[in-house]
Amino acid sequence: MKETTINAEMEQGFHRIVEASEKLYPLLLDDERHGFSRAVDLLKHKVIPLLRHECPLLVAVTGGGSVGKSTLFNFLAGGKYSGVKSRAGYTRRTLAAIHPSAARDRARMELLFDLFRKNALPVPMKTPDEMLAPGEPLYVESPSIPEQIAVLDTPDFDTGDKDEFANRDAAEEILASSDVLVYLFTNQTYNNKANTDFVRKAISGIGRRKVVLVYRCSAAYPDDEVAEHVDTVLHNLFPDSVNPRQEALGIYRMDESDAVVRGEADPAIRPLGEGPDMVGLITGLDIVETRRDSLRSQCEAIVAKTKDAIESADVRRWELVAYRDSVRALASHAVLGGLKNFPQGLLMEKFAECWRASQPLLVRVAHWPGRKVSGVAKWFRQKLKGDDRAAPLSAAEEYRKRFSEDFKDSVSKLLSRLSQPTLNVEVSSVSEETRELRDALRNLVSRNEKDYGISSSGREKAECSVPRPSLLKSELEKVIQAIASSGKDEWIEAAADKASFNADLAKDIKDLVDDTRSKRSFWEKSKEGLWATVATLPPIAAVAWTVCTSDPVVGTGAMAHLSALFGLGDLWATLAVPASLGLDAANRRFLENGLKGLYEKWFDRKREPILKLIEENVTDRCIRDCASLLEATEAPLSRLREAVESICNGEGSAA
């Protein structure tokens, strides 16, 4: 931005920064937000208004308590305006000396006071005692001041007890708006680190300000000793400069004088070495150039701060995405934990039973002797008929009980994993669903965000380490504690209801049977009898159930595609009809393929409602804030990116 003026495109970009920034604040950590919001405030209340409107150049006299600021201010303003007291901390608000004709320009005065402090109104000072109380800035009219300049007496920034600096905020605010700082120091304060640090930040906080140094010291000090002390100050103010003396607009010494204290004489201020006298320097300032310089450097700093904020926001969003998606993957895993004891035999019994019921009578009779109808099949038949009078503790009830136990176990494992400061979760390293999670983790790892990790673990799997997002750490702690201590029995029972073999599933199986039947060709129909063998399949080992390993089982048999689960990619079950059944390979294959749909449908029917219960009762509560923060900040963040881009483009076209 060095050689450019700020054109319309850039100005538009700055307006967009102001509009979008506030919505981004919740995404930033306290110190990130603090720096950025100060830059945005400066942009909104100072830089943008000054791009369009003329306003006097602000020359602020600053320094610690009782160094002689008010004395110097009065001298520059040409009158006894500001109260001068030996007591430090006397000046507690800002006093502006303004040329009378500038003071009559209402619009300009309002803008000027808005620069001093948001919404401050131009109020003239009535008595110097008003400066004793903190409050809004005041002004005095002074014909000695050039029309285009306002000289400011500012609050002492170093008075107060210990860390409580009474006027520091007020001083900081006023110095941030100023174009030129006149820094006054004494022999007691020239090497005071806290003071020079404060001034250094004021000079180069957000954009650079010009500085004039005034050393009030005994007239007896030789110039070279004075220069040495001044160099110390310069070195502390401009630690990176190769030629610190060049950084100051002017360097002056102001002799201690009792006549000044008595009000009988003006302070004697003379340049250290060559240079104009102080009044000449101030009145000779190139107003347009100085203002342009300070606006330019402030704009640069604001763009840099916005870029920083965008970078921080990206990191915070990656943290949120990584946490949200890891929790979602853990929820999927928890479903599988409940369904791991898949009652494959039972499912097949029911299917076979239903199939037989729909077989032509002749076929049924033909297979009667070979049929082994289990108690389960009886139960299921009764269930289908709506008759459950004579059901003993059936296999279905057995399964329901088993599910409850497994699921309870799975939920408590889920809770214990969620309560760890870092989530460790395995996800698919290829599926589209987990792409955002993997990208976020890679970005975080590449930025050395500690505790984040992603490494490949076996075929198409990635092992992820995800700590709680920094923004939500303390809230999450409470949320997870609340979830852990809330009652679970009710919804775990509800999940068991969903998982069990209920009338819904009976209807599903019936539909599946009808569907399979209607699609079967003549050739397949000729194998009708084969289906009866389903009931004779040993319930174990017929299906290699892969949910717990989530790894496709390699081997013979048909692969049933089970629903994709978040974080895990596709799940498969291998159906292998054992050779011990005495069927030939072709018939075995035929049977295996026929059963695939059954497994797929069953799994889908069970998975969805159980996952929903886990989400509602556990995981959604953990990721609610992540999700809403992500949603609320997506658009503002891209608007901010566009704004920075348009400012940089504008800069290019204006160069």
Ligand X SMILES: Nc1nc2c(ncn2[C@@H]2O[C@H](COP(=O)(O)OP(=O)(O)O)[C@@H](O)[C@H]2O)c(=O)[nH]1
When asked if residue 74 is in the footprint of Mg ion (CB under 5 A), the reply is no
When asked if residue 85 is in the footprint of ligand X (CB under 6 A), the reply is yes
Q: CB 204 → ligand X: shortest distance, Å?
A: 23
Q: Name residue 254's beta-bridge partners.
A: 216, 269
Phi, psi dihedrals of residue 300, rounded to the nearest 5°: -60, -45
Phi, psi dihedrals of residue 60, rounded to the nearest 5°: -105, 125
Sign of CA dihedral 113, 117, 120, 122: negative
Binding mask 41-70 for Mg ion (x = CB under 5 A): ----------------------------xx
Closest CA to 335 of 17, 587, 617, 43: 617
Which region, judged by CB under 5 A, interacts with Mg ion, from 88-96, 303-311, 529-537, 581-589? Answer: 88-96
Residue 14 binds which of ligand X, Mg ion, none (CB < 5-8 A, kind-dependent): none
When asked if residue 374 is in the footprint of Mg ion (CB under 5 A), the reply is no
Residue 488 binds which of Mg ion, ligand X, none (CB < 5-8 A, kind-dependent): none
CA distances from 121 to 85, 125, 128, 462, 524 (A): 27, 12, 18, 61, 92
When asked if residue 533 is in the footprint of Mg ion (CB under 5 A), the reply is no
User: Hey, which residues between 128 and 157 contact ligand X (CB under 6 A)?
Assistant: 156
Report residue 263 as tokens: 């009000």
Decide if 173 contacts 117 (C-beta within 8 A).
yes
Largest CA distance in the chain: 131
Among 21, 62, 91, 374, binds Mg ion (CB under 5 A): 91
Closest CA to 192 of 278, 91, 67, 92: 67
Among 40, 77, 84, 313, binds ligand X (CB under 6 A): 84
Q: Which is nearer to Mg ion, 153 or 625 (CB)?
A: 153
Q: Which is nearer to ligand X, 248 or 254 (CB)?
A: 254
Binding mask 31-70 for ligand X (x = CB under 6 A): --------------------------------x-xxxxxx
Rg (CA), the chain: 40
Q: Which is nearer to ligand X, 86 or 243 (CB)?
A: 86
184 burial (CB, 10 Å; 0-12 / 13-18 / 19+) is buried
CA distances from 542 to 176, 187, 338 (A): 77, 93, 20
Which region, judged by CB under 6 A, interacts with ligand X, from 10-18, 187-195, 249-257, 497-505? Answer: 249-257
Q: Which is nearer to ligand X, 145 or 184 (CB)?
A: 184
Q: CB 158 → Mg ion: shortest distance, Å?
A: 12
Measured in whole angstroms, the distance separating CA 381 from the mean position of its chain's CA atoms is 57
Closest CA to 285 of 422, 489, 481, 149: 149
Which region, judged by CB under 5 A, interacts with Mg ion, from 30-38, 91-99, 341-349, 360-368? Answer: 91-99
User: Hey, which residues between 177 and 216 contact ligand X (CB under 6 A)?
Assistant: 216
Q: Which is nearer to ligand X, 12 or 191 (CB)?
A: 191
What interhelical angle do 489-499 and 585-614 show, nearest 10? 150
Q: Which is nearer to Mg ion, 70 or 546 (CB)?
A: 70
When asked if residue 431 is in the footprint of Mg ion (CB under 5 A), the reply is no
Q: Residue 618 carries which DSSP code?
A: I
* Interacting residues toward ligand X by CB under 6 A: 63, 65-71, 84-86, 88, 90-91, 156, 216, 254, 256-258, 260-261, 267
